[in-house]
Chain A
Amino acid sequence: MGATQLPTPGINGTGLDLQSPAGGASSDPAAEMIQLLGPDGKLGTDPVFSDYAKRLEPEQLRGFYADMAKVRRFDQEATALQRQGELALWVPLTGQEAAQIGSGRATQRQDYIFPTYREHGVALTRDVDLAELLKLFRGISNGGWDPTENNFHLYTLVLAAQTLHSVGYAMGIQRDQKFAEANGSNDPKAAVVAYFGDGASSEGDVHESMVFAASYNAPVVFFCQNNHWAISVPTEVQTKVPLFNRAKGYGFPGIRVDGNDVIAVHAVTEWALEHAREGRGPVLIEAYTYRVGAHTTADDPTKYRESAEEQAWRGKDPLDRLEKYLRNEGLADEAFFEQVRVDGDKLAAHVRSTTQNLKGPDFRESFAGVYAEPHPLVAEELAWFEEYSAGFEGDHEDGGK
């Protein structure tokens, strides 16, 4: 463990320098942050991460843009659906597209993802059907999709609980790989990514997960989206040191990356995943970003923050800066951006019509999943419910569900 495992510090700063004092007085956060694509749409260099950026084909860069635009359009549509009473709640991600698309696109199929509840962009990169994703918010499922299909776990509403699941899962991968290697298999190596927020970083489970991950050298990447607000509470109430610095205390690398720079996020996450897959242990990535909208559709940000702050962050918009870059470099033309808009509208229309058709389950199904094996109490209560409901047969002919 230690500095030997870290990439050398980039010209952008000393984000990887574990020697720097972990004082709360740390001045300009950007000074300690990996950034490749600036708000001006110009690509900078970094001794470690430029190599990762160079691997990106123009097709992939256009893909990043299309993904970010798609999920932003999806977000707008879901917000509208909530306003129209089609969803019980919505958790918007606008502003965090680069953090999510950049990291999600850095994962490989065999990796396993544990999201919190705002990772719609990561879900998109894992091919989760976005209509399935809305089931939770429509109140017709406590899960929604099949986590085993795309290695994208269910959302977790109890903050930080999933960070421990991710470490346990990573410990399982470790054991599987040991076994596979002993049997001469050369399946691709896997790692786990755990997403959580700056607010969640205060929960004890995050601490315990980092202790376990370090103790067992588990192949897990902790991906903290520091979007500056936990509902109405600012990051400063959660931590006196930049969050990525905490990794040092656990004995593994911590990196702060510009979370609105999709190229840097992708590079840093690829590096971290390689690190984990190769058996070199966990990494904490802090994606420095901003939630420009409300926390959820039930929130009113005007009560706790200045609109000037939101405006300042809009100036760092992840989509705008990639668009500038693609145009400047001649990597995408007007027809491309027009196509992205058309595709977005198509997706929105699809989401709207499927959502409206998503019906609640028959209540009886709720009895089915409580236990995996037969259970007499559940069977007894189901039988009672069947008999009770039978008493109303006919009453519901034109009302019911």
Chain B
Amino acid sequence: MTTMTIAKAINEGLRASLTNNPKSLLMGEDIGPLGGVYRVTDGLIRDFGADRVVDTPLAESGIVGTAIGLALRGYRPICEIQFDGFVFPGFNQITTQLAKMHSRSGGKLTVPVVIRIPYGGGIGSIEHHSESPEALFAHTAGLRIITPSNSHDAYWMIQQAVDCTDPVIFFEPKRRYWLKGEVDTENPGPASDPFQAHVLCEGSDATIVAYGPLVPVALAAAAAAEEDGHSIEVIDLRSISPIDFDTVTDSVKKTGRLIVAHEAPTFGGIGGEIAARISERAFLHLEAPVIRVGGFHMPYPVAKVEEDYLPDIDKILEALDRSLAY
């Protein structure tokens, strides 16, 4: 066991992938000598060279599109998109090309491309640096979407993304990059399946589902509710597509109440998908409607007021109160 930040854990995970798989390579803007704007690729060009850690031209469609070509030739490109709001020039390549190549070819072609995207707010940044576009990708069949919330998962999940034969969008909770945690680099333990949700703490009165940056918030809210005498179960979803509905359903069958929290706007978001599925799967177990806690239907607001936008402990507790009142 060693302790490291999430950023360092991804860095070490990338290092392991580059070491274990000679066909893997990193591509992105400023990922070479600079080590990425968040330094996630720090030091990798020194150890693996410019052929494996490729500073690309400033062109997101170019990064994703050429990664597809490299994957068709048998390589495993790992692309870095510098910020969430800048993935859209590459959105066409991701949704119309990357996601569909395998099915269009009747399974003859595989495109094991990983796209790393630092996402989410809470860092006091300016426009286009704080968005949560995961639902836009989740709606496209053919993509897998995962997001770690702690260092151990970050270390293992990035490697599992590289090993996956399908394209994977790897959302990195950028405001948690500096969060430290223990990493067992020898053994993934329960993290061996990146598409499985994890029950982080058990409870009997209600379930909170969160992922990525909101997992620590959900845990803190559960702890606060505990002080008020409520027993709350917290689930880290980890995989946004596919979603491990079995773990969520089992939990709701036990607790009877569900709160889903994410930073992305509530409308049309992942929370709605979870609410709908759970109402189908566990309708008779539900004591209250599923309640979503998310962003508002507005462009991500300016940093000075982002605290009012972001789901926090109080907003989750308010939702819990509403749920428990039924």
Interfacial chain A residues near B65, Cβ < 8 Å: 161, 163-165, 167-168, 205, 208-209
Beta-carbon contacts of A267-297 to B below 8 Å, as 1s and 0s? 0000000000000000000000000000000
Docked Cα-Cα span, A204 to B91, in Å, equals 13
Give the residue among B62, B97, B109 with the most A Cβ atoms within 10 A.
B62
Q: Are B104 and A168 in contact (CB under 8 A)?
A: no
Chain A contacts of B109 at CB under 8 A? Answer: 147-148, 154
Contacts of B64 in A (CB 8 A): 164
* Of listed B67, B105, B108, residue having the most chain A CB within 10 A: B105
Judge whether B96 and A143 touch: CB under 8 Å: no
Contact with B along A13-27 (1 / 0, CB 8 A): 000000000000000
B33 at the A interface (CB under 8 A): no
**Contacts A212-B59, A371-B144 hold; do A165 and B242 have CB atoms under 8 A apart?**
no
Does B93 contact A176, Cβ atoms closer than 8 Å? no
For chain A residues 3-61, which have a beta carbon within 8 Å of chain B? none
User: B57 interface residue, CB < 8 Å from A?
Assistant: yes
Interface residues of B in 34-78 (CB under 8 A from A): 51, 56-57, 59, 61-62, 64-75, 77
What is the size, in residues, of chain B's interface with A at 8 Å between Cβ atoms?
47
In contact, A169 and B69 (Cβ under 8 angstroms): yes
Docked-complex contact A143 and B104, CB < 8 angstroms: yes
Which of B51, B66, B104 contacts A175 (CB under 8 A)? B51
Shortest CB distance A202–B (Å): 14
Q: Check A171–B66 contact: CB distance below 8 A.
A: yes
Pick from A158, A205, A215: contact of B57, CB under 8 Å:
A215
Q: Inside 8 A of A200's CB, which chain B residues have their CB?
A: none
Q: Which of A75-83, A231-239, A352-360, A372-380 contacts B (4 or more CB under 8 A)?
A: A372-380
Q: How large is the interface on A (under 10, 10 to 19, 20 to 34, 35 or more residues)?
A: 35 or more
A176 to chain B, nearest CB (A): 7
Instruction: Flag whether A146 is at the interface (Cβ < 8 A).
Output: yes
| A166 close to B69 (CB less than 8 A) | yes
- Whether A108 sits at the interface, judged by CB under 8 Å, is no
A169 contacts across to B, CB distance below 8 A? 69-70, 72-73
Within 8 Å CB of A298, what residues of B? none
For window 229-253 of chain A, which residues contact chain B by CB distance below 8 Å? none
Min CB gap A26→B, angstroms: 29
Of the A-B pairs whose beta carbons lie under 8 Å apart in the complex, a sample of 11, sorted by A's number, is A154-B104, A156-B97, A161-B65, A165-B68, A165-B72, A167-B66, A172-B72, A205-B93, A208-B62, A372-B102, A372-B166
Known: A148-B109, A168-B72, A376-B242. 11 other contacts (CB 8 A): A147-B105, A163-B65, A165-B72, A170-B69, A176-B73, A208-B57, A209-B62, A368-B107, A371-B144, A375-B144, A376-B195
For the complex of A and B, list the 7 residue pairs with the smallest distance between their C-beta atoms, beginning with the closest.
A168-B69, A164-B65, A172-B73, A168-B66, A208-B62, A369-B103, A169-B69
